[in-house]
DNA sequence: ATGGCGCGCGCAGCGCGA
């Protein structure tokens, strides 16, 4: 048996619900973590998702942010905040599915390295790392996935010179991601030999997708106990080719269960 | 060299994303 787990920043679930339902039908994931739903909980399309055979957990707000986890089996032990981080922004959702703990993240973008939002991003990542140390002790079988808004290294950037030192690629952000991995997590994409120039996000402008001018900023991180069970990690570019797509596309892992 | 799109909100055009 294979457990299929995916992450997708949908850039408005209101607009992208048909895409999500289509992708659920096509890919049949066991768990799909969403980011940027941009919906208050009262407007979450729970009935439509249930009709597709999926349970849902969600933590949303108006206009911005918002995370959700869709799953074939219901989740338990739900957390909607990093403990000790009082934050109105809905960026965190954790739940347990059988023996696997899932932590869905929408990491702050940061805007630019000179921005207050960039400092907020680095502080947020510090708090996250402290939380993950605790979470890994409680749940050795941990998946941390989502939109990290960090391209881990040069392989993850279409033109490293253009992006050098810029937000999403700056050294402090990359160091924070390395510190996060050092708690005992592994970038599932890099567990395997991969083709070059594979990305999970492409700007809507400049025909960036057609020219493959993208970044790999959406990740599925696995604890050591789950790394051994990971058979595959791939980026599914198909939804990025659909009409009116999100600028991100799903990243998928398959675990032996 | 710059900006170029798409979203929500709300009804014009701006803030935001990455």
Q: Is the CB of A217 under 7 A from strand B?
A: yes
Cβ atoms of residues A126 and A176 within 8 Å: yes
Helix axes A116-138, A171-182, angle to 10 degrees: 10
Does the CB of A210 fall within 7 Å of any strand B atom?
Answer: no
Query: What span, in angstroms and rounded, lies between the C-alpha atoms of A80 and A36?
Result: 15
Residue A7: how many other CB atoms lie within 10 Å: 30
| Strand B footprint nucleotides (protein C-beta < 7 Å) | 3-9, 16-18
A72-87 pLDDT, tens per residue? 999 999 999 999 898 9
Residue A54 a catalytic site member: no
Q: Inform me whether the pLDDT recorded for A257 exceeds 90.
A: no
Segment A183-236, tens digit of pLDDT: 999 999 999 999 999 999 999 999 999 999 999 999 999 999 999 999 999 999
Annotated catalytic residue within A104, A147, A187, A247: A147
What's the predicted TM-score (pTM) here?
Answer: 0.97
Q: Annotated catalytic, A158?
A: no
CA distances from A196 to A22, A99, A132, A155, A249 (A): 28, 34, 30, 7, 17
CB A159 within 7 Å, strand B: no
Do the Cβ atoms of A122 and A130 come closer than 8 Å?
A: no
Give the nucleotide at minimum CA-to-C1' distance from A217.
B18
Sign of CA dihedral A82, A86, A92, A95: positive
C1' of B3 to CA of A143 (Å):
39
Decide: helix, strand or coil at residue A252: strand
């Amino acid at each position: 048996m294979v457990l299929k787990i995916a992450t997708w920043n949908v850039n408005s679930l209101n607009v992208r619900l048909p895409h999500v339902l289509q992708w659920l039908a096509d890919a049949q994931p066991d768990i799909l973590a969403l980011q940027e739903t941009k919906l208050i909980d009262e407007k979450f399309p729970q009935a439509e998702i249930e009709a597709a055979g999926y349970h849902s957990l969600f933590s949303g707000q108006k206009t911005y942010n918002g995370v959700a986890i869709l799953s074939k089996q219901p989740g338990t032990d739900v957390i909607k905040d990093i403990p000790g981080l009082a934050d109105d922004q809905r960026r965190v959702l954790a739940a347990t599915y059988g023996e696997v703990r899932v932590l869905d993240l929408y990491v702050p973008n940061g805007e630019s390295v000179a921005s207050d939002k960039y400092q907020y991003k680095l502080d947020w990542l510090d708090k996250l790392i402290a939380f993950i140390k605790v979470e890994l002790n409680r749940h050795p079988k941990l998946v941390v996935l989502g939109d990290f808004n960090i391209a881990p290294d040069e392989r993850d950037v279409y033109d490293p010179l253009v992006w050098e030192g810029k937000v999403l690629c700056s050294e402090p952000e990359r160091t924070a991601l390395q510190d996060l991995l050092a708690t005992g997590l592994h970038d599932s994409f890099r567990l395997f030999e991969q083709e070059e120039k594979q990305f999970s996000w492409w700007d809507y402008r400049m025909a960036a997708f057609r020219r493959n001018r993208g970044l790999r900023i959406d990740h599925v991180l696995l604890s050591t106990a789950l790394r051994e069970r990971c058979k595959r990690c791939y980026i599914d570019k198909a939804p990025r080719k659909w009409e009116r797509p999100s600028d991100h596309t799903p990243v998928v892992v398959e675990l032996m269960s």
